[in-house]
Structure 1
C-alpha cells in the first residue's frame, strides 16, 4: 500500500492526463499517459494508463518512481515507498 500523500500524486497525473514515465521496482520503464485509478481483479490498487492508445493497469506497489514528462506547476518526479 502506498501512502495517502503519494496517492495524491497519482490522482494529479490522472486528473491532468499528463504524459508520464513510470519506473517499476523491477527496473522496467513505461512511458504512458495517466488516466485513472482502479483496482484490478485481485483487488490491488492500480493506476490505469494508456500506452500508445492501449489501456493497461499498473499495480501501485510495483512503482519505484513516477516522472511527469511535461512542465507543470505540481511536481516533476516522485519516488514511492510502500508500507
Structure 2
C-alpha cells in the first residue's frame, strides 16, 4: 500500500510535469516526464511517464524511489520503501 503523502507528491510531480528518474525494485531505471496517474490493464495504479519512446505506464508497486531532476520548492525525492 502506498502512503498518502506519496500520492500527494506524485500529483505535484504530474501537475508541474517534472522530469523524473525512477529507480525500480528490480534494479532497473526509467526516465521521463510525470504526466498523470492511471490504471493499467491489470488494474494496478500507475504513474504515466512521457518518454522519448512515447507514453509509458509504470506500476507504483514496482517503484522504489522517484527523483525529480529539476530544482523545485516541493520535493526532490520520494522513497517508496
TM range (shorter): over 0.9
Give the corresponding residue for 2:31.
Answer: 31
* 1:2-81 superposed matches below 5 A: 2-52=2-52, 54-81=54-81
Instruction: Encode CA deviations 1:36-68: one digit per residue, 9 max, x unaligned.
Output: 000111111000001115001000010100000
Q: Which runs of 4+ in 1 moved over 6 A?
A: none
TM-score, normalised with respect to structure 1: 0.93
Q: Offset of 1:9 from its aligned partner?
A: 1.3
Number of aligned residues: 81
Provide TM-score, normalisation by structure 2.
0.95
Matches of 1:44 and 1:77, distance apart in 2: 22
Q: Distance in 2 between matches of 1:7 and 1:53?
A: 25
